[in-house]
Chains A and B, each alone.
Chain A
Amino acid sequence: MASKKKIQVAVPAPTAWPLVAALGMALTFTGFLTTWPIGLVGFILCMVGFVGWFKDCYPGDREVELEVLPHHIPAEVTTSRTLDTNHPLHRAKLPLKIHRAPSGIIGGIAGGIAMIVVAVLGSFILHGSPWHPFNLTAATLMQSMAELDLNTFHPTALFVALGIQLVASVCIGLVYGVALPLMPKHPILLGALIMPFIWSFLLYAAMRTINPELDDTVNWWWFLVAQVIFGLVAGFVVSKGEHIHTLQFKAFAERAGVEKNR
């Protein structure tokens, strides 16, 4: 590379024929809208352009040779950064530790039960009956609930509401199980306070439009308390769960369970 001889590199020769052909094509179509002479001129230009273009490519591609000047030579590729390749976390994949999946499920169920307790308590205070929150939850799925008295006991509603509560709690618990160890710090603060606040607000804002009738019957302050209790209990249970290392530093055979090392 460092020879004193002039180095030359061939690149495609500049050509105006594609420009001429493109202008011709545009004018051809303009001819449809204006007058035919414009179209004719366009068509001729287009043909001339294509012939010229062909001559650029036949018998071989026309090229020009350009000289490599000093300012064309790139500097050596370097970096000012240094690596500590001996660091144990070098090339580690985050997260290093995760929770076992069951801890999320258990956390979700625990949070769900705590939430039911708070909701029933609230219902006693506000409505004098424990059944209000169950009926209301069931009403999100069952249209027929709209005609019933929300403060009396309906076995179907209880069943449906508990089902909804179970599914939702387990799903969110699983998300907690995956997400909480990923948080840089204060997992309980985030899981118990920030997240419930955000989704309560979103529900509050959206419910006005989606279902105004339901919106009227919900006491949003008490709703928020129930959500926060869920987050606290679920977050606490999840983060007390067992922390295990991911298998990223293990060999494939070990990860697949074929081989065991200690």
Chain B
Amino acid sequence: MIDKPYSPRSSKLHEWVTTADHKKLGVMYIVCGIIYLIVAGCEALMIRWQLAVPENDVLSAETYNAFFTMHGTTMIFLVGMPILLGAANYFIPLMIGARDMAFPRLNAFGFWLFFFGGLLLYFSFLGGQGLSGEEGAPDVGWFAYAPLTSTTFSPGSSTDYWIISLFVAGMGSIMTAINLVTTILTMRCKGMTLMKMPIFAWMMLVDAILILIALPTLTAIQIMLLLDRQFGAHFFDAQAGADPLIWQHLFWFFGHPEVYILILPGFAFVSEVTPVFSRKVLFGYPLMVIATISIGFIALGVWAHHMFATGLSPTVLAYFSGATFLIGVPTGMKIFNWIATLWGGQIRFATPMLFAVGFIAMFTIGGLTGIMLAVVPMDWQLSDTYFVVGHFHFVLFGGLLFAIFSGFFYWFPKVTGKMLNETLGKWQFWFLFAGFLLTFGPMHFSGFEGMPRRIYTYMPNRGLEFYNMLSSIGAVVQIFGFGLFVVNVLHSLRKGKPAGDDPWDAWTLEWSTTSPPPPWNFATIPSIASRRPLWDTKHPDDPDWKYE
């Protein structure tokens, strides 16, 4: 059934909220993600302000709890997830030569579920108070361990808002994952066999499958928790014979794959950026695919390494420690593949490349501290200290966020038709890099000195002041980095240099259409013969398909 074209009277806002176009939805995901990034960043700044000196009283203990909970929850569910889903949404159809996602309306549904889920989470600042007169936002930590979440210890409705907002947003993620799997498996253009897909599509495919497997577990236990809190069930009530550790097991069965759900898109961005700016083909493509799939499998079997300190049996400890070491192998393979891609290439240190190299270095450090934590006795010593905080910020900030910025600088010209300012971008990188190291490096040391995470203050003369002050100074340095980013985006949107269709001389299909792409992506559906279709077009005398 064919409708009339857009009526000229319809407004821009109307056009955006009613869209079923994967590109507009992708942009909305990413814009929401960046707004929440700023919000959650401000929460983190408050945390660092409170911890800058011992016995500080900027935040009360209760507000501090709410802030670190909201910081973690927001960063994972409202920053990481939407940015990765948005990027997948925008670029998967473009990269595999399709006109839209498989289910465009389901795509819109998924986005709006995420959108309203996010609003519900932040509504808790106001709404949490409504019913029982208790303080606002959720304050039970982002993994909300039982029995802290029972009505006895967490009265009011803030925890309920945590449950339903993540429940609604999680359903949205599942819808989008269904869409991504279907799109990648059924809508590839002519010639694009699975082993000729851009590595981006492979990583997003594994990512979406992990979402399909991991998120329903979270949904199920959140329903149980809601039943406990609202309808008097006993799922996590130790007095009725229940085992609160069940929550930890099931939460981490979701939570650990979630970490890989977040980092795999980071791998995907870097795997696209690195070859283009080294002028070399990605080293070891088949190995990269195998590594991605094995990460997907192993990620489902390592969850209890978050629980080494809960008194598991030695057999269980040995298994989960071993499995955690094992996951280092495919991850290490990837790191070596990226380094081998860089090696001997004609490297251009444009901003996307700076961030990509920053990612490789910082993620390696985060990965190595992860291996340290996989050693059971080491984990007993360091569990729930700032060492762990330092470790996962190296993975998620130095890893994921750097990869996101790398991808953002790389694809911004495609999405908007304007280049971002390179000078500002480089300044942003160095501010962020320095600020990042200054903030999260010392956390490893304060963790070694025994500073537990999630405490709102600490005593003087325990050897913690220096490290905490360093971390807080680092947070201030980061403000400049993020500030430059916002300035750069706003400035470039208006006055940026026109990008042209293919500003980086790249090789995947999205660069063969206009910037920004037309609503239908490709007027003629392309057909490809190798993993670098644009290389074949640009160098007809030496095409890749002869060698693959």
Contacts and interface: CB of A to CB of B under 8 A. Distances in A.
A–B direct contact (CB < 8 Å)? yes
Contacts of A80: 505
Q: Which of B21, B105, B164, B542 has the most CB of A within 10 A?
A: B105
A15 B112 CA distance: 12
Nearest to B117: A26
B105 A32 contact: no
Interface stretch (B65-73, B476-484, B518-526): B518-526
Given A66-B5, A209-B448, A15 B18 contact: yes
A26 B168 contact: yes
Interface stretch (A51-59, A128-136, A231-239): A51-59
Contacts of A71: 514
Contacts of B18: 14-16, 19
Contacts of A79: 505, 538-539
Contacts of B520: 9-11, 66
B243 interface: no
Instruction: Name, among B1, B523, B537, the residue most crowded by chain A CB atoms within 10 Å (CB to CB).
Output: B1
Interface in A55-113: 56-57, 59-68, 71-75, 77-81, 83, 85, 90-91, 94
B20 A14 contact: yes
Most central of B17, B116, B157, B500 by chain A CB within 10 Å: B116
A1 B524 CA distance: 9
* Interface size range on A against B: 35 or more
A62 B1 contact: yes
A7 interface: yes
A25 B519 contact: no
B20 to A, nearest CB: 4
A33 interface: yes
A26 B119 CA distance: 10
A49 B88 CA distance: 26
Task: List 6 tightest A-B contacts by C-beta distance, closest first.
Answer: A22-B112, A26-B116, A18-B109, A14-B18, A18-B108, A9-B520
Contacts of B157: 33
B327 interface: no
A60 B1 CA distance: 6
A212 interface: no
B530 to A, nearest CB: 13
B3 A13 contact: yes
B534 interface: yes
20 contacts: A11-B520, A12-B21, A13-B3, A14-B6, A14-B15, A16-B17, A19-B18, A23-B116, A26-B113, A33-B131, A33-B161, A33-B164, A56-B105, A62-B1, A64-B4, A72-B514, A75-B501, A79-B505, A79-B539, A91-B542
A100 to B, nearest CB: 21
Contact of B512 (A60, A68, A77): A77
B168 A32 contact: no
B6 to A, nearest CB: 7
B265 interface: no
B4 A12 contact: no
Contact of B1 (A1, A32, A59, A90): A59
Interface of A: 1, 7, 9-19, 21-23, 25-26, 29-30, 32-34, 53, 56-57, 59-68, 71-75, 77-81, 83, 85, 90-91, 94, 182, 209
Nearest to B101: A12
Contact of B523 (A7, A16, A29, A63): A7
Nearest to A94: B344
B134 to A, nearest CB: 12
Contacts of A182: 343
Interface in B220-234: 226, 230
A21 B110 CA distance: 10
B100 interface: yes
A14 B4 CA distance: 11
A17 B6 CA distance: 17
Interface residues of B, number: 63
B191 interface: no
A25 B160 CA distance: 16
A10 B99 CA distance: 10
A74 to B, nearest CB: 5
B106 interface: yes
Contact of B109 (A12, A21, A72, A77): A21
Interface in B8-28: 15, 17-21
B167 interface: yes
Nearest to B520: A9
Contacts of A209: 448
B130 A34 contact: yes
Given A18-B105, A74-B512, A33 B113 contact: no
A77 B502 contact: yes
Contacts of B244: none
Interface in B281-303: none
Contact of A94 (B226, B343, B541): B343
A12 B115 contact: no
A251 B120 CA distance: 62
A11 B5 contact: no
Given A25-B168, A85-B542, 12 more contacts: A1-B523, A10-B520, A11-B21, A13-B20, A14-B15, A22-B113, A22-B172, A26-B119, A29-B167, A64-B5, A77-B511, A83-B542
Interface in B489-544: 500-502, 505, 511-514, 518-520, 523-524, 534, 537-539, 541-542
Contacts of A91: 542, 547
A7 B291 CA distance: 44
A74 B116 contact: no
Contact of B513 (A17, A74, A81): A74
Contacts of B99: 9, 11
Contacts of B130: 34
Contacts of B501: 74-75, 77
B160 A32 contact: yes
B104 interface: yes
A95 to B, nearest CB: 9
B164 A12 contact: no
Interface string B150-178: 00000001001100100110011000000
Nearest to B533: A77
Contacts of B120: 26, 29-30
A23 B2 contact: no
Contacts of B15: 14
B505 A63 contact: no
Interface string B220-258: 000000100010000000000000000000000000000
B147 interface: no
A1 B115 CA distance: 41
Contacts of A61: 1
Given A21-B109, A34-B130, A74-B512, A62 B534 contact: no
B452 interface: no
Given A7-B523, A12-B21, A12-B100, A33 B514 contact: no
Contacts of A21: 109, 112
Given A19-B108, A26-B117, A83 B6 contact: no
Counting chain A CB atoms within 10 Å of each CB, the highest count among B17, B161, B520 belongs to: B520
A73 B518 CA distance: 9
B514 A18 contact: no
B328 interface: no
B105 A75 contact: no
B127 interface: yes
Contacts of B115: 22
